[in-house]
Amino acid sequence: MEEVSTFTNKTDQTSQDLLTGSEVLLRCLLMEGTECVFGYPGGNVLYIYDAMVSNPDFKHILTRHEQGAIHAADGYARSTGKTGVCIATSGPGATNLVTGIATAYMDSVPLVVITGNVPTTVIGTDAFQEADIISITMPITKHSYSVRDVHDLPRIIHEAFYIASTGRKGPVLIDIPKDVSNHKMYYHPSNKLNLRGYSATPSLDPTEIDKLIRAISESEKPVIIAGGGVVYSNASNELLKFVNKTKIPVTTTLLGLGGFPSAHDLWLGMLGHHGTYTANMAIQNADLIISIGSRFDDRVTMKVDGFAPNAKWIAHIDIDPAEIGKIIKTDIACVGDIKAVLGYANTKAKPSKSSSWISYIQENKSQYPLRYKDSETELKPQFVLEMINSTTRGNAIITTDVGQHQMWVAQFYKFNHSRSLVTSGGSGTMGFGFPSAIGAQVGNPNRLVISINGDGGIQMCAQEMAICSINNIPVKIVVINNQVLGMVRQQQEIIYESRYSQIDLAGSPDFVKLAEAYGVKGLRASTKAEAYHIWQEALETPGPVLVEFIVPREENVYPMVLGGTTLDQLIMGDFE
């Protein structure tokens, strides 16, 4: 049993107040430091929404769809490191959150998801708007609560925040029946929890870390794979120190981008399915692989039995022991918080024997850079990303949807800071990019937030432009418009011998007019000259702006590694 202090009383409350469950909920959220809740009301959460009327300290943003609410809470959490919160009613309101819960679960994002339910007296009778959301979401939540007694509500809320934000982070669901939200109780603020059987952070095993240090001293071709765990554990500085001490080159996963500075000489770019030639070849020739907060997912390893064939040692640093050895056989298992593991490792780390290896890698970086065929007559999407990168100097918060544009962001935007990329990695959720930018902007009001989307994904949650307009949320919304489902088209071209099926997005709305209909300024470019001009205009315009870039339909993302092949079997496109 672990006793923990999880919050401080941030509001002036009397020690004994007779409150409804809804009032208790709002007070507990404020005590947890919740800055904003994203949600959508309905019949079975109306007591909760009624309590908001008399609580001026409570900030809520009304989205236009429950999926927009949970993606916004997710973007807030990823970009700030705090726990995001969203609310939806029972039945279809709750089930509309499922995609967002799965998205957060796959990427270990801390969320507290609050759903209403029918009154306890009719649960299980197929009452109006009843759904067993606990059972539906059990595989995609870290933990779930069904509140049946209002007196349990304070404890449950504080436990939920603690569970969501500690260890391997993830979404926690709290389902509150309508009558429970209106029952009254004498509220006693408390800051102590007792969680039987829950150990948030495993203790370090120094012997395994020492084994890693010895392997580094013997290694001549080491490579670090830095994953999202580096970002989530706020271990970027420790990783940088570790690399500078050991002289080990670093490749990052999609979710690890920003966790290691892209300007560093030892950064190799992203690895995997659309990784750089340098990163993929380094993995295939390395004698030591050190995975730090990366779970060896299939987009990183590709053909598992051909992954890192020359490695004498595979080391894995992760807070979740279930990930160790799950996909790739591990020789050195360092279980623990990455910040703590690297902190200890840095006390003993020494340079590896990597000078010749680094020369080989630098040669590959020089000979096989990321490149594309530029055009004087067409606006290439890669050029657009290079332009955005140069004008923001890699310092913006970038959110993406899923598809070709996501990979071009990963390749051509050079992130300088941790928590600067907000993207759906494991789940690959279309519709995520734009609402997640709203949450990121709410959590980072003084940062430039740019949402980069394809013309397919933007249409899944485009209605959230309304709240940007109403609340003057100054997200810059980029639409890379190739009038097609680009990543599907690319795979159909390469894998399915150009047999194209159901990818044509002709008939999509005029995105500039759509933006203007919501009260958001809209701009469009189809040439380089226009792109420079309207992008500067967008950056200089206060408030939200949508910028549409018309790009070629046939442009592909390269390099590319096909499923069932190894990382060194890259397709280089025009530069084979």
Among residues 142, 169, 178, 365, which one is catalytic?
178
DSSP-assigned states of every residue in 66-80: HHHHHHHHHHHHHHH
In the chain, residues under CATH classification 3.40.50.1220 are: 206-367
Report whether pLDDT(446) > 60: yes
Q: What percent helix, strand, coil does the chain show, rounded to 5? A: 40, 20, 45
- Above 80 in pLDDT, residue 6? no
**How do beta strands 37-40 and 60-62 pair?**
parallel
CA 81, CA 76: separation in Å to the nearest integer? 8
CATH number of 2-195: 3.40.50.970
Instruction: Identify the residue with better confidence: 9 or 488.
Output: 488
Instruction: Determine the distance from the C-alpha atom of residue 197 to the mean position of all C-alpha atoms in its chain, rounded to a whole number.
Output: 28
- Answer yes or no: is pLDDT of 4 > 50: no
Per-position DSSP letters for 463-485, written without gaps between them = GGHHHHHHHT---EEEEEE-SB-
pLDDT in tens, 73-125: 999 999 999 999 999 999 999 999 999 999 999 999 999 999 999 999 999 99
Helices and strands (H, E) in the chain, number of each type: 21, 22
Catalytic residue check, 178? yes
Whose structure tokens read 């780390």? 349
At residue 297 the predicted structure's pLDDT band, cuts being 50, 70 and 90, is very high
What is the rounded CA–CA span in Å between residue 26 and residue 47? Answer: 11
Yes or no: say if 120 and 175 are a contact pair by the CB < 8 Å rule.
no
Residue with tokens 């240090």: 213
Q: What is the CATH number of domain 206-367?
A: 3.40.50.1220
Over 50: is that where the pLDDT of 7 sits? no
The position carrying tokens 């039945």 is 91
In this structure, the number of other CB atoms found within 10 A of the CB of residue 445 comes to 9
- Give yes or no for residue 136 having a pLDDT over 70: yes
> How would residue 196 be classed by pLDDT, with cut points 50, 70 and 90?
confident
The average pLDDT across 16-28 equals 94
pLDDT for residue 8 is more than 70: no
List, for residues 349-360, the tens digit of each pLDDT value. Answer: 999 999 999 999
Rounded mean pLDDT of the chain?
95
The predicted-structure confidence for 537-572, as pLDDT tens digits, reads as follows: 999 999 999 999 999 999 999 999 999 999 999 999
Q: Is the pLDDT of residue 13 over 80?
A: no
CA distance linking residue 186 with residue 16, whole number of Å: 6
What pLDDT is recorded for position 193?
83
| pLDDT above 90 (res 188) | no
Flag whether pLDDT at 378 surpasses 90: yes
pTM of the model: 0.95
Location of each CATH 3.40.50.970 domain in the chain: 2-195, 381-561
Average pLDDT value for residue range 499-522: 97
**Catalytic status, residue 406:** no
| 158-185: pLDDT as tens digits | 999 999 999 999 999 999 999 999 999 9
* Strand-strand pairing, 397-400 and 449-454: parallel
Query: What pLDDT score was predicted for residue 236?
Result: 98
What pLDDT is stored for residue 15 in this prediction? 53
CA-based max dimension of the chain: 73
Which amino acid, 34? T
Mark whether 129 is an active-site residue.
yes
Which letter does DSSP use for residue 446 in this model? T
What architecture (CATH level 2) is domain 381-561?
Answer: 3-Layer(aba) Sandwich (3.40)
Average of per-residue pLDDT across 342-353: 96
Contact 106, 139 (CB under 8 A): no
| CB 503 within 8 Å of CB 492 | yes
How would DSSP label each residue in 7-39? ----S---S-EEEEHHHHHHHHHHHTT---EEE
Burial 479-491 (b: 16+ CB within 10 A, else e): bbbbbbbbbbbbb
Catalytic residue among 2, 16, 128, 536: 128
Could you tell me which residues come within 8 angstroms of residue 156 by beta carbon, excluding any fewer than 6 positions away? Answer: 145, 147, 174
Q: Which residue has the tokens 């998801």?
A: 113
Annotate 86-123 with three-state secondary structure. EEECCCHHHHCCHHHHHHHHHCCCCEEEEEEECCHHHC
Considering the candidates 487, 511, 548, 555, report the single residue annotated as catalytic: 487
Where are the extended beta strands (E) located within 118-221?
A: 143-146, 171-177, 184-187, 192-195
Residue pLDDT, tens place only, 248-290: 999 999 999 999 999 999 999 999 999 999 999 999 999 999 9
Look at residue 184 and give its three-state secondary structure: strand
User: What is the average per-residue pLDDT within 439-450?
Assistant: 98
pLDDT category of residue 190 using cuts at 50, 70 and 90 = confident
Q: Is the pLDDT of residue 447 over 70?
A: yes
Task: Exactly one of 32, 66, 130, 323 is catalytic; name it.
Answer: 66
Q: What is the 3-state secondary structure (H, E, C) of 305-342?
A: HHCCCCCCEEEEEECCHHHCCCCCCCCEEEECCHHHHH
Please report the sign of the dihedral spanned by the C-alpha atoms of residue 53, residue 58, residue 64, residue 70.
Answer: negative
Catalytic annotation present for 487: yes
Which pLDDT score is estimated for 517? 98
Rounded distance between C-alpha atoms, residue 395 and residue 498, angstroms: 39
Among 183-197, 345-359, 487-501, name the one with the lowest average pLDDT. 183-197
Q: Identify the active-site residue in 13, 129, 491, 492.
A: 129
